[in-house]
Amino acid sequence: MIYLLIMSQIQTLVYKENKLNIKNGFGMAKSFLTAMASRGFSNNKTDPYVKKLRVVSCFGNVHAGGILPPCEHLSESQTKGKYFCGGCGCGDRKATWLIAESDEYSKLDYPKLECPLNMPGFSNYKESRPEEGISPVSRRYFIENINQEEIEKTNVTTYEVPAEILKIEEAALLHQEKEKEKNKIPKELKEKIEKVFGKQPE
């Protein structure tokens, strides 16, 4: 009886964990698609000041003479000199490196970009709670109170997406649109179906 009870509890925990992983997976996919869409074909980039805030949120400011260390989720890539976020589940690959080469678009350039810790500079930023200002203050509260002039001193560059990549992405989206058109129900048939079964969800 005790054995069955323990097994039942284990199965419940596994189910909850799997459910959470699936939910997180969908969330990450949605976040990635939102970021991609925000860039668009015209190579939109976030405001330079916003990117500077993101750099401070991710990398801290010790390298610039400050006292804020890098984020706990900042992970070193297997590629020397590259870093990625270990908290959002995006993994270590060229498209997810936070800082890119001079002729490439980095992850921190996206107009819409979410942070797993809701830090300043990101689309899902949440203002710190009052208790976060009590010593020892939270990382988020600390960044919120860094002098704007200090943030402006952060050295960043906004990079361009290679034209070849933009062409590939544009072709892929056009292909998707054509496939949608192919799968559309003819207007006359759609009206007949709606008369019989009522209006169908898109």
Is pLDDT larger for residue 21 or for residue 114?
A: 114
Distance, in Å, from the CA atom of 9 to the CA atom of 115, rounded to the nearest integer, reads: 33
pLDDT at residue 13 in the model: 36
Name the least confident of 22-26, 68-72, 157-161, 176-180.
22-26
Mean pLDDT for 67-87 is 94
Mean pLDDT for 111-122 is 95
Task: Please name which of 76, 86, 85, 90 lies closest in space to residue 33, comparing C-alpha atoms.
Answer: 90
Two structure tokens written together for 19: 């459910």
Q: pTM for the whole thing? A: 0.61
Exposed e or buried b per residue across 10-32, where buried means at least 16 C-beta atoms within 10 angstroms of its C-beta: eeeeeeeeeeeeeeeeeebeebb
What's the pLDDT tens digit per position in 135-182? 999 999 999 999 999 999 888 765 444 455 556 556 666 777 777 776
3-state secondary structure of 3: helix
Mean pLDDT for 187-194 is 71
